[in-house]
Amino acid sequence: MAGQTPDRGTPGWERSGWETPGWGTLPRMLRDRAAASPGVVAVAGPAGSGDRLTTAELRARAARFARGLIALGVRPGDRVAVWGVNDASWVVAAYGVWDAGAVIVPLSARYKGFEAAELLASTGARVLVTGEGPGGAVLADLLDGPPGAGEAGGVGGRETGPVVVVPDAVSRPGTLRRSELLARGAAVPEREAEERALAVRPEDLCEIMSTSGTTGTPKGVMLDHAQIVRGYWDWSEIVTLREGDRYPVIAPFAHGFGLNAGLIASVMRGATMMPIPSFSPEGLQRLVAEERITILAGPPALFHRLLDDVDTRGHALRVAICGAAAVPAELIHRLLDEVGLERMINAYGLMEGTVVSMTRADDPVEVIAATAGRPVPGIEVKIVDAAGREVPPGTRGEILQRGYGVMRGYWGEPGKTAEVIRDGWLHTGDIGVLDERGNLAIVDRKKELFIVNGFNVSPAEVEGLLLREGSLAQAAVVGVPDPRSGEAGWAYVVPRPGRSPEPEELIAWARENMSAHKVPRRIVVVPELPVNANGKPDKQALRERARAAVAPAPD
């Protein structure tokens, strides 16, 4: 197996604080939860969808799905891809994959056929489970090339490929309908399937999560069951996720947050997850009022809209989670004072390192606004300079992480794994600062820094400053080649609802409140920012847009 396992004997591995239940694996976790609280509603789809599963029903349906996979010849350690929007069938498929001892490979519902084919080929997936795409599209129809012989239909023009499982409503040659998969599974004895699920070990791979690929070829991050169980038990402990919570999972299940902090954490804690197949800001009012949600996770723009557009009288909201480099202090004060939330959580994590740091309930607003909190138990963080030397508190440098959360490696790429994991430390590529109390502030990505007239400019810093102006919900800054200054900053900004800022006014404000080299050369007001497969602002798309705008017209 490709990759490198962190040294679990290093400082920072030892346990502190609360204890993780002794499940070790997701199949054992699901069985424990189903036995302890069989009637708890684990999954509740949108109103009228009919998607509603208790914990006991989820366990039973996952076991049936696992038997179907076993009938297809899926062996422990095989990769099974799941491709679709967030819904109950995705949840069942995921737990079925783990029950079969297989490794899940989530595919973004935004993928085109060739993108899906590349990931399927690189991971050697044995089965591809498809669902609906955005707007009800049939994702199986996006696959490149004609299907091959029988069920081992070709994908991406290959002669052989994974068995493609489609929804029952889909009819596509060379594929297998979900009901047919389940029918085949009936031939697999229940005891055999149960033995398979209980044989999964904590050190077995759980998921291969694709990186966004905005700065190069996407890579598959390998995480095992023990890492996921511990990391998201701790995450949900700090968040206070609990039985009775109603938790909409807006982030795609194909993203680390949606899968691990959503689909997995909610079952761990007995909360009711509400998979959101396609979130619209306009639907936030209905979501808060009609679904009685208690926990909401999203970027600052989501919470600005909550304050500006949603009548929160009589709401059930108690916790907000905002994993961002910087959250305006004013926004946090308003959520706590006007909405009456119990707590606001800021956090930092990355696919290669799972959960790294989180703010705590007793942190002051200033800490929540400016930092991502302290490392979670069992995780160490240090800041180093360009020569790899640790720097004192208050000094910028690259963030290094060590502990149980560091990935097993990149799938099939030991060379790239060795580049980022050295002596047990994950070199994150993120720039940060630790304060005297150990709170971590994320400053920027190393690769996103640009230079104006010889001065380094941090896009995240400029974005945070622009948000202080007051009329903006989101800001994304990129560096663009410039003949006068080498590079110049361009800012793409999304106004808050009801506000109509003029670019000239924003630039004037920036000149009054920023050093000259940080002031964006141009500010473009847009209705929304493009996002990548992980739901983050797509900086590469914005760079290309800016460069196209300054490129000379063809003769």
Q: What is the DSSP string of 491-509?
A: EEEEEPTT----HHHHHHH
Residue identified by tokens 């800054």 is 477
- Specify the pLDDT at position 226: 97
Residue-wise pLDDT for 395-444, tens only, equals 999 999 999 999 999 999 999 999 999 999 999 998 899 999 999 998 87
Distance between CA atoms of 402 and 425, rounded to whole angstroms? 5
List, in sequence order, the alpha helices (H) in 468-533. Answer: 503-513
3-state secondary structure of 109: coil
3-state secondary structure of 430: strand
With b for 16 or more beta-carbon neighbours within 10 A and e for fewer, the 239-257 pattern comes to bbbeeebbbbbbbbbbbbb
Could you tell me where the beta strands, DSSP code E, fall in 70-139? Answer: 79-83, 103-107, 127-130
Distance between CA atoms of 361 and 338, rounded to whole angstroms? 18
CB 493 within 8 A of CB 464: no
Q: Which domains does the chain have, with CATH numbers?
A: 26-225 (3.40.50.12780), 450-548 (3.30.300.30)
| DSSP secondary structure code for residue 3 in this structure | S
Q: Does this model's pTM top 0.75?
A: yes
- Specify the pLDDT at position 154: 42
- Specify the pLDDT at position 234: 96
Joined together, the tokens standing for residue 109 give 């519902």
Residue identified by tokens 């700090």 is 238
Distance between CA atoms of 129 and 9, rounded to whole angstroms? 38
Main-chain dihedrals φ then ψ at residue 327, nearest 5 degrees: -120, 125
For residue 535, the surrounding DSSP H or E stretch is none
3-state secondary structure of 275: strand
Q: Residue 383's beta-bridge partner residues?
A: 399
Nearest Cα neighbor of 122 from 255, 218, 225, 259 is 218
- Specify the pLDDT at position 310: 87
* Cα separations in angstroms, 534 against 16, 111, 530: 31, 11, 11
Distance between CA atoms of 550 and 258, rounded to whole angstroms? 37
3-state secondary structure of 137: coil
Task: Give 387's Cβ-side CA count (13 Å radius).
Answer: 3
- Specify the pLDDT at position 289: 84
Main-chain dihedrals φ then ψ at residue 291, nearest 5 degrees: -90, -5
Strand pairing category for 79-83 and 103-107: parallel
Residue-wise pLDDT for 488-520, tens only, equals 899 999 999 999 999 999 999 999 888 778 899
| DSSP secondary structure code for residue 454 in this structure | T
- Specify the pLDDT at position 3: 34
Distance between CA atoms of 99 and 84, rounded to whole angstroms? 20
Q: What's the CA dihedral at 212, 216, 220, 222 to 10 degrees?
A: -90
Could you tell me where the beta strands, DSSP code E, fall in 146-305? Answer: 163-166, 176-177, 205-210, 220-224, 246-249, 272-275, 295-297
For residue 256, the surrounding DSSP H or E stretch is helix 256-256
Contacts of 22 (CB under 8 A, 6+ apart): none
- Specify the pLDDT at position 146: 38
For residue 542, the surrounding DSSP H or E stretch is helix 539-550
Low-confidence ranges of the chain (pLDDT < 50): 1-16, 145-159, 213-216, 555
Task: Give 52's Cβ-side CA count (13 Å radius).
Answer: 9
Distance between CA atoms of 501 and 511, rounded to whole angstroms? 16
**Sign of the CA dihedral 193, 199, 205, 207?**
positive
Residue identified by tokens 């889909």 is 170
Helix (DSSP H) and strand (DSSP E) numbers for the chain: 17, 28
Q: What is the DSSP string of 365-404?
A: HHHHHH---EEPTTEEEEEE-TTS-B--TT--EEEEEEET
CB 257 within 8 A of CB 267: no
Residue identified by tokens 């490929």 is 161
Contacts of 222 (CB under 8 A, 6+ apart): 1, 2, 3, 205, 207, 208, 407, 408, 409, 410, 411
CB 474 within 8 A of CB 525: no
Percent of all residues in the chain with a pLDDT value above 90, rounded to a whole number: 65
- Specify the pLDDT at position 552: 62
Nearest Cα neighbor of 107 from 220, 249, 206, 267 is 220
With b for 16 or more beta-carbon neighbours within 10 A and e for fewer, the 170-180 pattern comes to bebebbbbbee
Main-chain dihedrals φ then ψ at residue 445, nearest 5 degrees: -85, 140
Q: Residue 82's beta-bridge partner residues?
A: 106, 129
- Specify the pLDDT at position 533: 58
List, in sequence order, the alpha helices (H) in 148-224. Answer: 178-185, 190-198
Residue 375 Rama label (left phi>0; alpha psi -120 to 50; beta):
beta
- Specify the pLDDT at position 380: 97
